[in-house]
């Protein structure tokens, strides 16, 4: 199978290229992301492979059908970036990687949350300049505090285990509760009101869009710490800035951002960022922003590569598609 691989980074080549022979795939690596201007680069391929910030719209789906693309391989779990109505209408199958390393994302979430809580990122910057003062770097114990987990899928379950390991009381919200988990399910409003730490692990849907907003922030404890390693639009960014400025929110760790598409995974260190909200967030001392890297471990990359290429082989061989998105 010939695959046009959009948005290629060096680490993608490192993990996918050695496996091409094992899965009988011919991958054409393309550095540019998928867009209306670049979709033509897939001509001659059987499938395209895309990541979280590549969007498949109606126009792109039509163009893909016109050039003979039958399969979209998502090398990620989320699929909110694909217009499934459009792909279905244009006879294009969509497959994803539903689970690559839930523990990787959960471990990153707690690491980022701990860094914000204990100001580790600020302490690192200070000591690099030989400023050994600890004034202003006081945090709080997690032991005995209340943690709120929104979304109890595989990553959320790992996060619950981690919070329990810190001897926290763990509350959870999910429209589809898992009664086998060691957690107390509560209504969303109650989770906001009671939690000292909140971690987001739900997919982006019309119901979860801006689940953190001015109203929900107003319900939270003063000084609450929030971590989002799921999808950027779960948080209303302007409301987040307001909550941080007022002191209602004590700190936030963001591995995703509402308008990350044109910024994340690229080097803008010599340019002026035009996103005023992101620029403001980056100046605040109680904010830690990383570039959607919670998944980024050796184990996760291996799982992403093997599952993606297995999805391609299953489609080519006419086998059952276990990871199809409908």
What distance in Å separates the CA atoms of residue 90 and residue 71, rounded to the nearest whole number?
11
In this structure, are 164 and 215 located in the same domain?
yes
In this structure, are 71 and 108 located in the same domain?
no
In this structure, are 68 and 204 located in the same domain?
no
Burial (CB < 10 A; 0-12, 13-18, 19+), residue 78, is middle
DSSP 215: H
At 324 the pLDDT is: 97
In this structure, are 303 and 282 located in the same domain?
no
| Buried b / exposed e along 300-321 (16+ C-beta atoms within 10 A) | bbebbbbbbbbbbebbbeeeee
In this structure, are 217 and 192 located in the same domain?
yes
At 99 the pLDDT is: 87
Task: Transcribe 228-291 into DSSP letters.
Answer: E-S-GGGB-HHHHHHHHHHTSEEEEEESS-TTGGGTTTS--TTS----HHHHHHHH-TTEEE--
Question: Closest Cα to residue 260, out of 76, 53, 110?
Answer: 53
DSSP 69: -
In this structure, are 161 and 272 located in the same domain?
yes
Blockwise average pLDDT, block size 10, the chain, 326 residues: 97 97 97 97 98 96 98 95 97 95 96 98 97 97 98 97 98 97 97 98 96 98 98 98 98 97 91 94 97 96 98 98 96
In this structure, are 121 and 228 located in the same domain?
yes
Question: Closest Cα to residue 69, out of 38, 90, 85?
Answer: 90
Name the residue range of residue 133's domain.
Answer: 102-289
List the structure tokens of 206. Answer: 């019309």
- Of 292, 299, 302, 316, catalytic: 292
Q: Count structural domains, the chain.
A: 2
In this structure, are 304 and 252 located in the same domain?
no
H-assigned helices in the chain: 10-16, 58-66, 84-89, 102-118, 120-128, 154-165, 188-194, 214-219, 237-246, 276-283, 298-317
Residue 20: give its domain's CATH number. Answer: 3.40.50.720
At 229 the pLDDT is: 98
128 assigned to active site: no
In this structure, are 67 and 194 located in the same domain?
no
In this structure, are 263 and 304 located in the same domain?
no
36 assigned to active site: no
231 assigned to active site: yes
In this structure, are 96 and 109 located in the same domain?
no
**Do residues 49 and 3 make contact, with C-beta atoms less than 8 angstroms apart?**
yes
What distance in Å separates the CA atoms of residue 107 and residue 99, rounded to the nearest whole number?
15
Provide the 3-class DSSP secondary structure of residue 141. Answer: coil
List the structure tokens of 258. Answer: 């509402």
List all residues 6 or more positions away from 141 whose beta carbon is below 8 Å from its beta carbon. Answer: none
- Of 260, 266, 299, 316, catalytic: 260
Provide φ and ψ at 185, rounded to 5°.
-80, 135
At 262 the pLDDT is: 83
**Do residues 18 and 44 make contact, with C-beta atoms less than 8 angstroms apart?**
no
What distance in Å separates the CA atoms of residue 141 and residue 181, rounded to the nearest whole number?
24
Other Cβ atoms less than 10 A from the Cβ of 198: the count is 26
Report pTM. 0.91
- Of 96, 231, 236, 258, catalytic: 231
Residues facing 228 on adjacent strands: 200, 254
In this structure, are 153 and 75 located in the same domain?
no
**Contacts made by residues 237-240, CB under 8 angstroms, sequence distance 24+:** 237/277, 237/278, 237/281, 238/277, 239/210, 239/212, 239/213, 239/214, 240/212, 240/281
């Amino acid at each position: 199978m010939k695959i046009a691989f959009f948005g290629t980074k060096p680490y993608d080549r490192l993990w996918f290229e050695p496996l091409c022979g094992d899965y009988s795939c011919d991958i054409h690596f393309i550095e540019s992301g998928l867009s209306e201007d670049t979709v033509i680069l897939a001509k001659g391929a059987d499938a395209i492979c895309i990541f979280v910030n590549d969007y498949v719209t109606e126009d792109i789906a039509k163009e893909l059908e016109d050039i003979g693309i039958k399969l979209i391989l998502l090398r990620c779990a989320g699929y909110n970036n694909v217009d499934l109505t459009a792909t279905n209408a244009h006879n294009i199958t969509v497959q994803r990687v539903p689970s690559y390393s839930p523990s990787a994302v959960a471990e990153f979430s707690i690491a980022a949350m701990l860094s914000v809580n204990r100001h580790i990122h600020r302490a690192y910057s200070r000591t690099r300049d030989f400023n050994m003062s600890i004034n202003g770097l006081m945090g709080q114990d997690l032991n005995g505090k209340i943690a709120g987990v929104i979304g109890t899928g595989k990553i959320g379950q790992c996060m619950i285990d981690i919070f329990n390991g810190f001897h926290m009381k763990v509350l959870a919200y999910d429209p589809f509760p898992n009664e086998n988990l060691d957690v107390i399910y509560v209504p969303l409003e109650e989770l906001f009101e009671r939690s000292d730490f909140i971690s987001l692990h739900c997919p982006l849907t019309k119901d979860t869009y801006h689940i953190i907003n001015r109203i929900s922030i107003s319900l939270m404890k003063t000084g609450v710490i929030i971590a989002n390693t799921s999808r950027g639009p779960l948080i209303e960014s302007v409301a987040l800035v307001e909550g941080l400025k007022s002191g209602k929110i004590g700190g936030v760790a963001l591995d995703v951002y509402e308008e990350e598409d044109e910024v994340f995974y690229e080097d803008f260190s010599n340019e002026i960022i035009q996103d005023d909200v992101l620029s403001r967030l980056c100046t605040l001392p109680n904010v830690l922003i990383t570039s959607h890297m919670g998944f980024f471990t050796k184990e996760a990359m291996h799982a992403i590569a093997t599952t993606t290429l297995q999805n391609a082989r299953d489609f080519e061989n006419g086998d059952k598609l276990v990871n199809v998105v409908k």
